[in-house]
Structure 1
Amino acid sequence: MNEMPFMFFTSLVLGDTGDSNLRNTSLASDDDLSDGSDITPQQPLLDPEDWFLTKQEITASRGGVPRSDMAVYTTGNKVTSYTVTNEFFNAVYNDLSKTKEGDRVMLAAWMVALASLKPNIDPTGAKTGLKKMFAGIVQRGGNVNILGWANLLIPYMPFNVKARDAVNSIPSFSVNGAIALFIFDDRTNPTLSQHQKTLIFASNSSSGKNDNPVAYVGGIDLSNDRWDTIYHNNSAIRDAAKITFENQGWIDGQLRIHGPAAKDVARNFIARWNSDYLPCQDLDDHLLDLENPTYGKIPPLDYTSSNTTSRLGNQNVQITRTYSCQYEHYKEFAPKGETSLFQARIKAIKNARNFIYIEDQFFIFVPELLDALMKVMPRIQCLIVVTQSKRAHLRIFATSSTCIKWSSQFGQSIRTSFKSTRRRQTGNF
């Protein structure tokens, strides 16, 4: 997968998940049930440099090719977390509504559907649906660019195609030629997917010394199934708005970054869009209705504010990415691939002093990550792992037996090695 999460350095408070699956996880008779409170806490590392990859480490993750178009890390960002999907949808609605002439909206998605952003008050999406919101941006003189993965998964493909057709039917703005354009992106190995889920709000040009873009980064697509509340008890609203597709609710997270780190997210999008190697040029793309319209390159960011620091907030942010080293068409921005996300995870695990919290959709066995965990387990108080149940794996992928095997292998390796070390590992292994 081509992914682009980020690491952010700030204080987090983790509460009780309330998940009965975690509380009821079966334990062997010789497991020590200590919660780790009997272990003396250690002073955690507090400097960003302790957690973030260095410039040299980023270069190494790129096969020796420097990453010259993005900062090593940035300071003074304002980061807002959304752990409930309707709160994320509300925030996106507010940002879309505030766009004005000369603004740019750039969306990279795994899936897009013509969903209502406020289904509780607008189930049909007549006022808050994605097409209506994007059309409003263009009518105010702003541009919309969408990179959607050329998703061949049959249940989802019709939604993506319908969204593409709707967005590309929006009339251009007669005053400044602003447009909305949705293209499909298949520039990845056939067995992988474009898994970046980012949304950027930027100005065409800004001379303010404190002006910075806004970027959302995380795991939530603007699509059906996603809108939900913290109580997961709004089935009537979801059904009335035709949100429910394969799931009766949704748990995921997204972060809103306002600051120089958002410039890095935007530059990643622009580099993908402007690549000389055009996506979806094969005959099968035409047959599958994934063929793209003719489109041009989009301009780089034009901000005079600092690329590395601001005073908007207190968060230090490092953008990390995954681009396959085996794919040959990332020549402009990752000619030898990039595994900075993977390396950042390993570094973070090794620097943990008291606890590690892992929330992972699949928790597939990765030897390097297991080795890093094994090295720190003797000293930390607690390792918490939250992942999907095996039943969820089977529901999502018809051929997921290997995925389940790898997930179980990862979990059992940890349990077997540390079942008597006064460490608690929880999750659906």
Structure 2
Amino acid sequence: MPDAARPSPNCQSSHNAADPILVPGRTCWRMEKADRVAVIIDAAAYFARIKAAILNARHTVMLIGWDFDTRIKLEPDDPMPGVPNELGDFLSWIVRVRPELTINVLKWDLAILKMPFRGGTPLVLLDWISSRRLRFRLDSAHPPGACHHQKIAIIDDALAFCGGIDMTTDRWDTPDHRDGDPRRVRPNGEAYGPFHDVTTAVDGAAARALGELARERWHRATGEMLIPPPPVPAFWPDDLEPDFRDLPVAIARTDPMADHEGTQKTGKRGVREIEALYLAAIAAARDFIYLESQYFASQKIVGAIIDRLSEPDGPEVVVINPERTPAWVEEESMGSARSLLLQRLHETVANPRFRILAPVTEGGEGIYVHAKVLVVDDRLLRVGSSNINNRSQGLDTECDLAIECAPGERPEVCRSIRSVRTRLMAEHLGVSVEEVERTEEATGSLTATVDRLIRPAGRSLRPLEPQPLTETERRLVEERLLDPDRPEPMAATILRGATVFGDVNRTAWRIGAGVAAAAVVGVGLALLARRNGLGKKMQGE
């Protein structure tokens, strides 16, 4: 096991509590003021709010994502009258009725692999490719094996959304996460399971900064420099209550192809602000660390948590994860990594201050956790696209937002961070926010609160335990073959894979063949996309 997952003799817990966690150029790109910030829990609320926001757009809409599915219904239960409800129809309609509006959609190039299975989606996107005002591009400006994982939407540089929610299928759900909810259905009519996610809305200078980031991404992908939109009066969704007002918001990134100014620089090592933010926040924690993530697989971040749990007076740690990942490749990589790191944690610090739990519905079905949230001492809140895995720290592009309540300053910010956290905990535990708050007051402990409120049946949280691993699975994790933390030449990846799969067994061959096939198909489709003008801007457009 790499040293990053073992207790370190140089534990970073000496962080001075009076020192800020958010430092531009180190733990974030920059800090910009927002007049309003809201944390949006679950995609039902997000899809409705972004639809309303786009209806208010005057000049430009920028949509950047890991994936988009034009067939999804933005409001499956109560759509606005007279307004198309499917994403593709809605965007096509809004540019027709709003002739001064331009919409730019930028999607990770290898997500095109899903398009042949999406009915008429390829035809819709072909229309968008040739459109002058609703423009769709694929972004292949990333190292081999990387993906563009940022999820950002910007309207007129006046309002922006940034977090973990993609505008694609299998995302829409409400905080109720009802068993068999008939609204939770794919475009082809198939039902999908309950899904938990989180994003944010910001305005002011913070939204303008996200607009700059989005235009830089567009420039790298297409070669086209977009002009910032003219100023518009401030606007905000009518039914979205801000959680915070008038405060600086930090923007933190992972970007393997950018420098700290945000631009692409050949030969630069890349930007790892998110990793630095995680490590600084963990080091600064005094009372507790609350995490929601799709994975628990980053050797460096889990190693930092083990360091803190090794301290006799270190913080409590509560991690919310899904019970399992839906795809076998993810389970082989991320699921195996979680099991191995949990084994290491239990061997090192059999610690009563640590909990890792998965939410379930009233009927006992697992709720898939896709949210990426960090709360430290109700002092720091981070929401974004980055997972607790290796690739989110140095290989993929990620974008997170963070808010800090500086010690001794603006206690209402700390209260608002606590309010967000208790809302999330109440959702997972199936109790009211008031009950979470009362129990916390009574116990004075995050883990004791969770323990007291967990129910043996019904909507609640269930403890997760490490699963036994084969030697191949263990070596996959140790070599970071399916979850690297930095770019490397394809030849180096193949050589490391040959080392892992040198002993011929069925599981290894299955995984190796799957990875190789995906790589070959992905490279071929990316080359085809470039040849047909889906990436770089076509001449004369």
Query: One fold, TM greater than 0.5?
Result: yes
Equivalent residue for 1:18?
none
Deviations 1:402-424 (A, max 9, x none): 3322111222333333324x413
Distance 1:194-1:164 versus aligned 2 partners, 3 A rule: farther
Report the CA distance shift for 1:157/1:407 in structure 2 as closer, same or farther (over 3 A): farther
Deviations 1:97-118 (A, max 9, x none): 2223xx2100111111121111
The alignment status of 1:323 with 2:278, answered yes or no, reads no
Instruction: Report the CA distance between 1:368 and its aligned residue.
Output: 5.1
Corresponding letter in the other structure for 2:84: K
Q: What does residue range 375-414 of structure 1 map to in structure 2 within 5 Å?
A: 375=308, 378=311, 379-389=313-323, 392-393=324-325, 395-398=326-329, 400-414=331-345
Aligned with residue 69 of structure 2, among 100, 108, 113? 113
- Measure, in 1, the Cα distance between the counterparts of 2:163 and 2:321: 17
- Write the mapping of 1:115-154 to structure 2, written as runs, cut at 5 A: 115-122=72-79, 127-139=84-96, 140=98, 141-152=100-111, 154=113
Superposed CA offset, 1:35-92 (max 9, x none):
xxxxxxxxx95x7x6120243x26xx9xxxxxxxx6x212344111111221111111
Change (3 A) 1:162 1:53: farther
| Secondary structure class of the residue paired with 1:313 | strand
Contact 2:160 2:201 in 1 (8 A): yes
Give the deviation of 1:243 after TM superposition: 6.6
Shift of 1:339: 0.4
CA distance in 2, matches of 1:96, 1:81: 18
- 1:26-425 aligned within 5 A: 45=17, 50-55=20-25, 57=26, 72-100=30-58, 103-114=59-70, 115-122=72-79, 127-139=84-96, 140=98, 141-152=100-111, 154=113, 156-158=114-116, 163=121, 165-167=123-125, 169=127, 179-202=133-156, 213-233=158-178, 235-239=181-185, 242=188, 244=190, 247-275=192-220, 278=222, 296-300=224-228, 303=231, 313-324=245-256, 331=264, 335-367=268-300, 369-371=302-304, 373-375=306-308, 378=311, 379-389=313-323, 392-393=324-325, 395-398=326-329, 400-420=331-351, 422-425=352-355
| Residues matched between the structures, number | 327
The C-alpha deviation readout for 1:321-353, integer Å capped at 9, x for no partner, is 1112699x9625994311001101111111111
CA contact (8 A) 2:115 2:121 kept: no
State the AA in 1 paired with 2:185: D
- Structure-2 separation of matches of 1:302 and 1:361: 38
Structure 2 unpaired stretches of 5+: 1-15, 234-243, 358-463, 467-541
Distance 1:352 1:162, change over 3 A: farther
Identity of matched residues, % = 20
Higher relative contact order (CA 8 A, sep 6+): 1
Alpha-carbon distance between aligned partners in 2 of 1:170 and 1:368, rounded to the nearest angstrom: 41
Contact 1:271 1:332 in 2 (8 A): no
Aligned-partner Cα distance in 2 for 1:257–1:181: 24
TM-score of the pair, normalised by structure 1: 0.66
SS at match of 2:110: coil
CA distance in 1: counterparts of 2:104 and 2:56, whole angstroms:
17
> What amino acid is aligned across from residue 144 of structure 1 in structure 2?
I
Matches of 2:295 and 2:342 in 1, distance apart?
A: 11
Is the Cα contact below 8 Å between 1:89 and 1:117 reproduced in 2?
yes
After superposition, give the CA deviation of every residue in 1:178-235 in whole Å (9 maximum; x if it has no partner).
Answer: 60001111221232211011111115xxxxxxxxx21111111111111112222363
Mapped partners of 1:169, 1:179: distance in 2: 11
Equivalence for 1:291: none
* Aligned 8 A contact 1:137 1:143 in 2: no
Q: SS at the partner of 2:162?
A: strand
TM-score by length of 2: 0.54
Q: Secondary structure at the match of 1:119?
A: coil
* Letter of the structure 1 residue corresponding to residue 290 of structure 2: Y
The one-letter code matched in structure 1 to 2:284 is N
Distance in 2 separating the partners of 1:145 and 1:164:
17
* Amino acid in structure 2 at the alignment position of 1:238: R
Whichever residue aligns with residue 94 of structure 1, its letter is A
CA RMSD of aligned residues (A): 3.6
Distance 2:267 2:65 in 1: 19
In terms of mean alpha carbon deviation, does 228-237 or 373-382 score higher? 373-382
Other structure's SS at 1:274 match: helix
The one-letter code sitting in structure 2 at the alignment partner of 1:411 is L
Query: What are the superposed Cα offsets for residues 357-398 of structure 1, whole Å, 9 maximum, x if unpaired?
Result: 111211114135413541365334421011222xx33x3233
**How many Å separate the matches in 2 of 1:190 and 1:255?**
30
For residue 162 of structure 1, report the CA deviation from its aligned partner.
5.0
Q: 2:54 & 2:44 partners in 1: Cα distance?
A: 15
Does the residue aligned with 2:107 lie in a helix, a strand or coil?
A: strand
Q: Which residue of 2 aligns with 1:30?
A: none
CA contact (8 A) 1:126 1:132 kept: no
Q: Is the 8 A contact 1:73 1:319 kept in 2?
A: yes
Q: For residues 272 and 334 of structure 1, what CA distance do their matches in structure 2 show?
A: 18
Q: How far did residue 239 of structure 1 move?
A: 3.4
